[in-house]
Amino acid sequence: MSQATRVTPQASAEPVWVRRTLLTVALLFLTLFLFIPLLAVFYEALRKGLGVYLAAVIDPYALAAIRLTLLSAAIAVPLNLLFGVAAAWAIAKFEFHGKSVLITLIDLPFAVSPVIAGLLYVLLFGAHGWLGPWLGAHDLQIIFAVPGIVLATVFVTVPFVARELIPLLQAQGSEEEEAALVLGASGWLTFWRITLPNMQWGLLYGVVLCTARAMGEFGAVSVVSGHIRGLTNTLPLHVEILYNEYQFAAAFACASLLTLLALVMLALKVAIERRAVRQRQAALAVEAP
Amino acid sequence: MPRFRQPSVLPGFGLTLGFTLAYLGFIVFIPLALGFAQAFELSFAEFWRTVTAPRVVASYQLTFGAAFLAAAFNALLGLIVAWVLVRYSFPGKRLVDALVDLPFALPTAVAGITLATLYSSNGWIGQYFKLLGIKVAFTPLGVVVALVFISLPFVVRTVQPVLEDLEPEVEEAAASLGANRWQIFRRVIFPALRPALLTGFTLAFARAVGEYGSVIFIAGNLPMVSEITSLLIVSKLEQYDYRGAAAVSVVLLVLSFLLLLVINLLQRWGRIRQGWEQAS
C-alpha cells in the first residue's frame, strides 16, 4: 500500500478514493480558513510598497501602541506565572476539601466573554462605578488609563500557566520532593532543585500561551481603553483604528507585526512540545531497566 | 471532625493556597460579584424589559445560532482534519499540524480585518461567492465565517490524541470478523471518538459565543440583523447605560452556562446509555 509511515493491512484502510477525498477536503478547508488569511495579512501589508509599510510601523502612535502592548504583557505574564506556580503547588501537592471547585474557578475567566471581563472593571472603577467617586476624589484613574488595560489583560490570561502546571504536577506526584525534605533540604531548596526542573517545559509552554494571549487581547482591553492615541492604545486597538479610518495598508502593516509574533509563538510551542516529549522518553528509559 | 487537608511533609500549603485565593478574589471574584450586583439594582420589570427588547433578543439568536453553526461545521471538518493528520502522510504535514493552532495565537483583531478583506465582495475569496450570488462579509454568514476561524483548533486538538491512542488491533479484529471499512468506522472508531468530539464542539461553541474582536469587522453590525450580543453590550456601555450592559451580560453568561450544562448532561446520558447497550 502507498502508506509510508505505518504498515496497515489492506482490510483496515480506506479505499484510495476515500483517502484522496478526505485529504482534499481537509486541505481545502485549511487553505480557505488558515493559509490564505495568513498570506493575505502580509500581502495587504506590503501592497503599497515597503516605504508605506515602514512608515506605518515607525509611526509614533504605532510605537507607543507597541510599548503599551509590551508593558501590559510584561506585567500580566509574570503575575500569572507566579499565580500559576502557587496554585499548582497547592492543588497538586496537597489533598484538601473543595479542590475540584477551586480548579473549576481558576478556569472561570475562560468562560467569561472578554467584553464582559472589561465591563466588570468599568462597573467597578469607571466614573459611574462602585469605586468611581472615591477614585475621582483622589485623582486616580484606572479606566481609560494604563492600569485598566493591565488589569483587563491580567483577567483574561489568569488560567494559562496554572492550567498547564496543575495536571503536570499531579501526574508527577510528590515522592521526589518528600525524599529531598526527608534528607534535610529546605522547602525552597526542594522547590528550586526538584520541582522547578521537573516542570520547566510545562511552565514555558504556559508562559508562551499566556504571552500570545496577553499581547493579542482585544475585547476586554477595548472596553477599558477609551482608545486615546499614544496613551491607551495597544497594538491590536491601533490596528482597529487604522482599519476604521480606511488606512488599510497601515492597518495590515501593524497586523503583520502581530502575525509574526503569533508565528514565533507557534514555533516556540512546537519546540517546547518536542523537548517535553524527549524529556519524558528519557525519564522512561531510565526507569525501564 | 474531618480534617480540612490531609497531613503532608511538604511545606508551603498555607502560603500558596492563600495567595491563590487572594489573587483569584481580587482579580476575578470581587469584580464579578460587584459588577453584577449593578444589574440587580434595576427593578425586575426594568431588567426584564432590557433583556427582552427585540434588538437584544435578535442579538442572542444571532450569537448562539452562529456559534452553533460554526461549532457544528468545525466538528465535521475538524474530525476530517484530525483524521488526515493522524492516519495519512503527505508532504508538509508537520507544518500543517503546527499551523492548526494559528487561530489560538493570532490576535482576534488581525483575524477580523483579514477575513473581512478576503470575504468582502471584491476580496480574494468573496468574489467567487459573489458569482454564486452569496454575500459573506457584512451579513450573518460573515459572523459564522469569523467564528469558524477562531474556533477551528478545538475539535482537531481534542480528537487528535484520542485517534492517535486507538489500538489498531481493534480495527483489525473487526475487519477479520467481516466488517467493512464504513461499518468499522461507524461501530468501532466513531464511538471511541464521540466524547472527544463533543468536548471539542463544546469548547468551540463556548469560545464562539463570547467572541468579539474577529466578528465586529466582518459582521457589518446592523441592529436586528448582524449585531452580536457582545457588541450590543459595548454599545450600551458607550451610551453610559451601565446597568443595561450589566443586565445583558448576566443573561449572556447564564444562557451560555445553561447550554454548557445541557451539553455536559447529554454527554453523561450518552455514556450511561452506551454502558447499558454494552451490558445487555
Q: What angle do CA A34, A56, A63 make, to 5 degrees?
A: 100
What is d(CA B48, CA B43) in angstroms, rounded to the nearest whole number? 9
Domain range spanning residue B228? 54-279
Nine-digit cell at B53? 427588547
Question: Quick check: is B250 in a domain?
Answer: yes
Interface check for A75 against chain B (CB to CB < 8 A): the answer is: no
* Residue A33: C-alpha distances to residues A227, A236, A257, B115 (Å): 30, 21, 20, 9
Task: Output the domain CATH number for residue B86.
Answer: 1.10.3720.10
Interface check for A236 against chain B (CB to CB < 8 A): the answer is: yes
Question: Quick check: is B200 in a domain?
Answer: yes
Interface check for A201 against chain B (CB to CB < 8 A): the answer is: no
Within its chain, how far is the Cα of B64 from the centroid? 10
Interface check for B32 against chain A (CB to CB < 8 A): the answer is: yes
pLDDT at B219 over 60: yes
Over its C-alpha atoms, chain B yields an Rg (Å, rounded) of 23
pLDDT of residue A9: 47
Exposed e or buried b per residue across A144-174, where buried means at least 16 C-beta atoms within 10 angstroms of its C-beta = bbbbbbbbbbbbbbbbbbbbbbbebbeebeb
Instruction: Name residues of chain A where pLDDT drops below 50.
Output: 1-11
Residue with cell 467597578: A124
Contacts of B144 by beta carbon, 8 Å cutoff, 6+ apart: B66, B69, B70, B73
Interface check for A73 against chain B (CB to CB < 8 A): the answer is: no
Question: Closest Cα of chain B to A234: distance in Å?
Answer: 11
Q: What are phi and psi of A234, to 5 degrees?
A: -90, 175
Whether the CB-CB separation of B5 and B13 falls below 8 Å is answered with yes
Would you say the C-alpha torsion A156, A161, A162, A164 has a positive or negative sign?
Answer: positive
Question: Closest Cα of chain A to B223: distance in Å?
Answer: 18
pLDDT at B1 over 60: no
pLDDT at B13 over 50: yes
Whether the CB-CB separation of A47 and A249 falls below 8 Å is answered with yes
pLDDT of residue B268: 76
Within its chain, how far is the Cα of B274 from the centroid? 25
**More confident call, B240 vs B3:** B240
B 214-243 residues inside an 8 A Cβ radius of A: 217, 230, 233-234, 237, 240, 242
Question: Quick check: is B11 in a domain?
Answer: no
Nine-digit cell at A209? 500561551
* Residue A192: C-alpha distances to residues A20, A169, B276 (Å): 52, 14, 50
Question: Quick check: is B19 in a domain?
Answer: no
Residue of A nearest to B257 (CA): A111
What is d(CA A212, CA A219) in angstroms, rounded to the nearest whole number? 15
B 137-196 residues inside an 8 A Cβ radius of A: 148-149, 152, 168, 171-172, 174-176, 181, 184
Residues of B in contact with A158 (CB under 8 A): 24, 27-28
Count of CA atoms in the C-beta half-sphere (13 A) of B19: 17
- Which ipTM was obtained for this model? 0.89
What is d(CA B39, CA B248) in angstroms, rounded to the nearest whole number? 9
Residue with cell 497594538: A235
Q: pLDDT tens for residues B251-266?
A: 998 888 888 788 778 7
Whether the CB-CB separation of A36 and B125 falls below 8 Å is answered with yes
pLDDT of residue B259: 81
Residues forming a β-bridge with A96: B5
Nine-digit cell at B134? 452569496
Question: Quick check: is B49 in a domain?
Answer: no
Question: Quick check: is B9 in a domain?
Answer: no
Contacts of A224 by beta carbon, 8 Å cutoff, 6+ apart: A118, A121, A122, A143, A144, A148, A149, A151, A152
Q: pLDDT tens for residues B56-70?
A: 999 999 999 999 999
**CB atoms B11 and A93 under 8 Å:** no
Interface check for B22 against chain A (CB to CB < 8 A): the answer is: no
What is d(CA B67, CA B176) in angstroms, rounded to the nearest whole number? 42
Question: Quick check: is B186 in a domain?
Answer: yes
Residues forming a β-bridge with A134: none
The letter for the amino acid at B235 is S
**CB atoms B212 and A218 under 8 Å:** yes
Q: How many CB atoms lie within 10 A of CB B46?
A: 13
Residues of B in contact with A18 (CB under 8 A): 181
**Burial environment of residue B237 by CB neighbours within 10 A (0 to 12, 13 to 18, 19 or more):** buried
pLDDT of residue A240: 95
Interface check for B11 against chain A (CB to CB < 8 A): the answer is: yes
Question: Quick check: is B36 in a domain?
Answer: no
Interface check for B122 against chain A (CB to CB < 8 A): the answer is: no
Residues of A in contact with B234 (CB under 8 A): 115, 222-223
pTM (two decimals): 0.90
Please tell me the total count of domains within chain B.
1
pLDDT of residue A4: 45
| Mean pLDDT, chain B, whole residue set | 90
